[in-house]
């Protein structure tokens, strides 16, 4: 296994990596860094969690530093396009952390926040600009930025960029770039449309594949419960009342669906936050920060908003609704297998969603194990009543539960770790024991706490190979 200095990286970058606590390069870093340093184009098939950000950020920083001319006003030298604001922020943070010992400037621009400050930041010119496509075009259309001196273009999560309908924006942007440039494209999957983009924009690229496209995340224990749409909310509340569900991402298909789930959980005494496209940027950041630092135990997200969320120690992913794009299922469950941990994913599948389930199983090439419908525990007036039958949804006015049989279900855990005490079947209701099992991060990958993305766990590399 090579180390970072074998890859030709310079002293300031090696220093920054040591400060981040990275012991050795990940597979995509080993394969991508040398060719990108030598100026080659690259097409990388890799998911978030493989270390792909450093795979492009490190050689870009080094190349920009070796030609130390300043960016002209209203230009940038490297442009990184990201499909979402969250991912854009995280990429910019990574550039700043890895480039800490260098005199290179990084700016991030995305929609949903005032444009004035972004305009000011660009006025003097920046070395690295991380942008979402829409806001980038706004800045260009207002003549606050030109792309005529871009030397390196990165298209990150290109498949998601197309899913979100950015293809026209992307084509417009690429036309504004110099022909002579280095282009790096990263995508979790390689559908035909991405292959076509790669063909158009990349020049004899080096190809790097670190995870077979859209295969199941193997470390995730995946189950499906067949449940009617009406029963889903109470099933969710029953599961979340168990404190072993320590840090839970719940996925809904729509923004309104996410808000409805949060309201329903609140009515049963379970605190949760929602993160989706209708939330303002500060709201999203607050929700994410609360989830990261353990203040919020349950985060309800839509696929788009969850993209790029980099949080360790997610104990469970609950697919409250199945995605109609099967690849999204793979992205969703991957959130619970970070930092070398294994995770648990439970899909709630109604009759209407069986076709989606079939598509998912076709893609992952493995049928999900069926979890029998657990008995529902419905909190009422401080007592928990367990019944296999759901009571009517009018019970939403129930009072928040205080001391339920499962413990402090109404009090979200402030810590990501599973409770230490061992519990028998009577404690926690009728949930099968494996749903409460959590395995820690593999010791080999455990490193120093923190990191530039504000994680509370160890290294955040999911070790995909």
**E-state strands within 179-320:** 182-187, 206-209, 220-226, 248-251, 273-275, 298-301, 316-319
Q: Which residues pair with 207 in a beta bridge?
A: 43
With contacts defined by CB under 6 A, name the span among 162-170, 229-237, 274-282, 453-461 that binds ligand AMP: 453-461
342 or 411: CB nearest ligand AMP: 342
* # residues near ligand AMP by CB under 6 A: 17
Q: Is 131 helix (H, G, I), strand (E, B) or coil?
A: strand
CA dist 10 and 413 (Å) reads 43
CB 459 within 8 A of CB 451: yes
29 or 74: CB nearest ligand AMP: 29
From candidates 7, 12, 16, 26, binder to ligand AMP by CB under 6 A = 26
390 or 459: CB nearest ligand AMP: 459
In this structure, what token pair is assigned to residue 313? 């120690």
Site string for ligand AMP, 296-325 (x = CB under 6 A): --------------x---------------
From the list 291, 360, 225, the residue with the least C-alpha distance to 236 is 225
From the list 206, 168, 167, the residue with the least C-alpha distance to 55 is 206
Angle (deg, nearest 10), helices 326-333 and 354-364: 70
In this structure, what token pair is assigned to residue 444? 């080999």
From candidates 12, 25, 125, 133, binder to ligand AMP by CB under 6 A = 25
Q: Which residues pair with 152 in a beta bridge?
A: 78, 182
98 or 144: CB nearest ligand AMP: 98
Interface with ligand AMP, residue 156, by CB under 6 A? no
Interface with ligand AMP, residue 461, by CB under 6 A? yes
Q: Which helix (H) or strand (E) holds 354?
A: helix 354-364
26 or 132: CB nearest ligand AMP: 26
Site string for ligand AMP, 46-75 (x = CB under 6 A): --xxxxxxx---------------------
23 or 113: CB nearest ligand AMP: 23
With contacts defined by CB under 6 A, name the span among 43-51, 165-173, 215-223, 269-277 that binds ligand AMP: 43-51
CB 314 within 8 A of CB 338: yes
Shortest spacing between CB 110 and ligand AMP, in angstroms: 17
- Give the Cα-Cα-Cα angle 439, 443, 445 (nearest 5 degrees): 105
Chain-centre distance for alpha carbon 402 = 33
From candidates 183, 451, 457, 463, binder to ligand AMP by CB under 6 A = 451
Interface with ligand AMP, residue 211, by CB under 6 A? no
CA dist 200 and 387 (Å) reads 59
54 or 147: CB nearest ligand AMP: 54
* 99-118 residues near ligand AMP, rule: CB under 6 A: none
Contact footprint for ligand AMP (CB under 6 A): 22, 25-26, 29, 48-54, 310, 451, 453, 459-461
């Amino acid at each position: 296994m090579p180390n970072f200095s074998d890859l030709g990286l310079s002293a300031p970058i090696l220093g920054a990596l040591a400060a981040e606590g990275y012991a050795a390069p990940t597979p995509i870093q080993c394969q991508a860094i040398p060719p990108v340093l030598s100026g080659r184009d690259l097409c990388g098939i890799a998911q978030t969690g493989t270390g792909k950000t450093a795979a492009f950020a490190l050689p870009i920083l080094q190349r920009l530093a070796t030609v130390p001319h300043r960016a002209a006003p209203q230009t940038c030298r490297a442009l990184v396009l990201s499909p979402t604001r969250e991912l854009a922020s995280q990429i910019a943070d990574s550039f700043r952390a890895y480039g800490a010992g260098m005199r290179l400037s990084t700016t991030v621009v995305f929609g949903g926040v005032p444009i004035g400050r972004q305009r000011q930041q660009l006025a003097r010119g920046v070395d690295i600009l991380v942008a979402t496509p829409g806001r980038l075009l706004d800045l260009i259309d207002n003549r606050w930025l030109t792309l005529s001196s871009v030397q390196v273009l990165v298209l990150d999560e290109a498949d998601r960029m197309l899913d979100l309908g950015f293809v026209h924006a992307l084509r417009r942007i690429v036309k504004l770039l110099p022909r002579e440039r280095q282009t790096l494209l990263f995508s979790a999957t390689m559908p035909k449309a991405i292959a076509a983009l790669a063909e158009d924009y990349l020049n004899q690229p080096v190809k790097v594949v670190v995870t077979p496209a859209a295969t199941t995340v193997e470390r995730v224990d995946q189950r499906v419960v067949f449940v009617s749409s009406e029963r889903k909310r109470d099933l969710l509340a029953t599961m979340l009342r168990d404190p072993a569900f320590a840090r839970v991402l719940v996925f809904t298909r729509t923004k309104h669906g996410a808000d409805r789930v949060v309201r329903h959980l609140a009515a049963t005494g379970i605190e949760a936050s929602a993160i989706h496209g209708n939330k303002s940027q500060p709201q999203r950041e607050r929700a994410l920060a609360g989830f990261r630092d353990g203040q919020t135990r349950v985060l309800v997200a839509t696929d788009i908003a969850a993209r790029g969320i980099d949080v360790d120690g997610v104990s469970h992913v609950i697919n409250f609704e199945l995605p109609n794009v099967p690849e999204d299922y793979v992205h969703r469950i991957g959130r619970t297998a970070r930092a070398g941990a294994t995770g648990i994913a439970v899909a709630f599948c109604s009759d209407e969603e069986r076709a989606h389930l079939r598509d998912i199983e076709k893609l992952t090439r493995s049928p999900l194990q069926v979890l029998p419908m657990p008995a529902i525990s419905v909190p009422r007036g401080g007592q928990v009543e367990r019944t296999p039958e759901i009571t009517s949804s009018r019970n939403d006015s129930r009072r928040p539960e205080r001391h339920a049989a499962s413990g402090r279900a109404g009090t979200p855990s402030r810590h990501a770790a599973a409770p230490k005490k061992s519990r028998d079947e009577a404690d926690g209701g009728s949930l099968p024991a494996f749903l409460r099992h959590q395995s820690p991060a593999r010791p080999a990958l455990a490193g120093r706490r923190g990191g530039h993305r504000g994680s509370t766990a160890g290294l955040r590399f999911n070790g995909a190979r």
